[in-house]
Amino acid sequence: MQLVPKTNLVPEFDPILEKIILDVGGMKCAGCVNAVERQLTQHPGVKSACVNLATEVAVVESETGAVDADALAQRLTAVGFPTQPRKPNGAVAGEISTLLDPAERQRREMRSSFRQLAIAAILLLLSGSGHFGNLGSSVLPVLNNIWFHCGLATVALLIPGRPILVDGWLGWRRNAPNMNTLVGLGTLTAYIASLVALLFPKMGWECFFDEPVMMLGFILLGRTLEQQARGRAAAAFRKLLALQPQVARLIANPEKGGMGSSSVEIPAEQVRVGEWVQVLPGDKIPVDGEVVVGKTTVDESMLTGEAVPVIKQPGDMVTGGTLNQSGAIAIQTTRTGSDTTLARIVALVEAAQTRKAPVQKLADTVAGYFTYGVLTASVLTFVFWYFFGTHIWANVSMSGGMEMMSHATYQAPHSPLLISLKLAIAVMVVACPCALGLATPTAILVGTAMGAERGLLIKGGDVLEKVHQLNTVVFDKTGTLTTGNPIVTDCLLIGGDEVVSEHHYSSSSPSSLIQLAAAVESGTHHPLARAIQQEAQQQQLSIPEAVDFHTEPGLGVSAVVEDKVVLLGNWDWLSWHGIAINETAQQVAQDLATDGKTVVCVAVGGTLAGLIAVSDTLRPDAQSTVDKLRQMGLRVMLLSGDRQEAANAIAKQLGLDSADVIAGVPPAKKAAAIQALQLEGTRRQGDKGTKKTPHSIIAMVGDGINDAPALSQADVGIALHSGTDVAMETAEIVLMRDRLNDVVESIQLSRATFNKIRQNLFWAFAYNTVGIPLAAGVLFPSLGFVLNPSGAAALMAFSSVSVVTNSILLRRLAHHS
């Protein structure tokens, strides 16, 4: 008999550590992320720091009280990253108002980006019009004036390009060069070289003032598109934040007038546990609570993804943020502020976006040295072409190759210095650390927000990677594969070596055995206990008083009833107490177990008195869930505390082999069973036989209460909502809809999100691996092709946009699936 353990719940985080959340501004690329993480980890007392470029959030872990959040914020602000800490005040409304500050900052940045882009577009149009031949000069002769183009380039650097130059210089000064440093160096070098050519025409250099204008134009276009895409990626999460109601109607004196008494509107964060709150039709429910007066229907789609309203009446629980639809109700508050389900979901989703996938470690390592590497490559490119390249391939004309993605036609002869300079500038500008920095966080942002919309809470990038590697899914039986609402089906009274009487509960039944069992089970809360107590209630039996309760998780329970010691449990429990079990009783129990029933032995005064058989039906979607998982190439197993026969009967209904059943495992030993499976290193791939792997990657699916140790031991713990409190602490994935099919959906979403991460990282690495040599002139000797600086800028802008857009496509693909 499986009972609820009172201990052995494994916490996810070390209790001596505290988390500090910072909103960080000014980050433009993976180099900035690396610089912020370095500044944070160098601060005394900080154990670890994780920074997210897409959400502009830093999560710092430190010893409790060892680090001042304001000091961290000041440290980052001093080095060019405007930062503010989030102050936990125990009220979600306050937290959410703080959370919205970054969104407002992003809106201002978006407006600023549009203004800069508009100015850059006008300058780009005027600068490029000189390349349209007589068409431009006939309309405005000044368009062919080189001094006019010099003025355009100057304005471009001073107005739309100024923030880039300033940020690039600050990054260089704090020894953390970033993408703006590269772009700023490139545009300034092109501008200065053209200015020298203009002021000293005898040098024979050409002027290419159009290059800095075009570079800035393309880069600003790319950044504006990227910001828009990032905004769309974060839209679902912002929607989640906006769900929390700001106002509650507090019933001042519920004991006098109930719901009919006058109510007063107060901020939702000021409601206290135990107070009554009135909720009218059309209102959002402000706190978690229990309905005490009234009846209504509630739209819980924000929590579960299900559009069908749920009927609520006195005694039912309601969740803050859900929508009251049809009737006025009064609820008694059970949770407020950061303890509410919605607040915990928000915290989970946000935390998920700062938990990095291990696959991102390579990208982070590269990003830390990226800018230095690009600057080195740029210098080497200049040195090679100036001293060697222009002499080896002096007979190759560069005018054709330099025209890629540009309308420029170069009339003046190309000096080795200018050729080398342009190639070095192109190398600086084409490199894109942004793509590396955005590859993982944007995909996780979209994937976790989509999951939250559907009631699938996935705790982070590391979880996504482990889900992608899964080869085995282990299900707990009671309450997971089954409904968790068992009913008593048989009662057998044992007398000597014979079964004295057998009663099926379609007719009347003796009451003594049920009365005794119900009395003992009143000391526990296991589903089998509920089944026996419900049977006693249905027969309207009086339940005698029981004292001296003792429970042994997974074995049984004992108590003293009417001066007799009564034991309820499995064979091991009775044997441990020295109670003999005759062969007849064993055979009958085995027959019942073969039918898929759980058998509870009842012993009174040291003698076996009878057997009670309890049956728990499969969930309606259990079969389809198992079938889909097996179609996905996953091995599906059953883990149960029941006897082997009962577990095999359930497995047979699901089409599972007896080899995939682990039975007779008490809750305290389930973690050890999972560990043994992990070390087994065998997986089954549908009907293709067996394949050896280093070790099995296990997902454990349970209700999150008595399965908590096993959920923690598994590589991926998946908990149904029935065990919310423990599940949110222990499991990596929480299914809020309490629907078994969501196991399949969560694995599919995790796989799809992780595939996007891999695609993004592949593109980011491939782009830089190909783009930098291309800009350095690797194709010049064979094809006469060289990427000019403005073309390089356009490619760089496209790189970041493509990574973010690819992440957003995850939403579209998921809608079609």
Which residues are marked as active site? 476
Residue 705 three-state SS: coil
Q: Is 282 exposed, middle or buried (0-12, 13-18, 19+ CB in 10 A)?
A: exposed
What are the tokens at 661?
A: 């059943």
388 DSSP 8-state letter: I
Q: Please, which residues bridge with residue 289 across strands? A: 318, 333
Residue partners of 809: CB distance under 8 A and separation at least 6:
756
170 DSSP 8-state letter: H
Residue 668 three-state SS: helix
Q: Please, which residues bridge with residue 276 across strands? A: 332
d(C-alpha 455, C-alpha 736), whole Å: 5
d(C-alpha 372, C-alpha 377), whole Å: 9
d(C-alpha 43, C-alpha 165), whole Å: 29
d(C-alpha 237, C-alpha 705), whole Å: 28
What are the tokens at 199?
A: 């002021």
Among the residues of 454-565, which ranges form H helices? 461-469, 512-521, 527-538
Which of 299, 305, 338 shows the shortest CA–CA distance to 322? 299
Instruction: Look at the alpha carbons of 93, 98, 101, 103 in this order and tell me if their dihedral is positive or negative.
Output: negative
d(C-alpha 176, C-alpha 174), whole Å: 5
Which of 95, 608, 582, 15 shows the shortest CA–CA distance to 338? 95
Cα of first residue to Cα of last residue in the chain, in angstroms, is: 41
What are the tokens at 262?
A: 């006058």
Query: What is the maximal distance between C-alpha atoms in the chain?
Result: 120
Query: What per-residue string of b and e applies to 334-371 under the rule 16 or more CB within 10 Å gives b?
Result: ebbbbebbbbbbbbbbbbbbbbbbebbeebbebbbebb
Which of 261, 282, 268, 272 shows the shortest CA–CA distance to 330? 261
The residue behind tokens 């490559």 is 377
Which of 585, 592, 593, 627 shows the shortest CA–CA distance to 609? 585
Q: Using alpha carbons only, how large is the chain's radius of gyration in Å?
A: 34
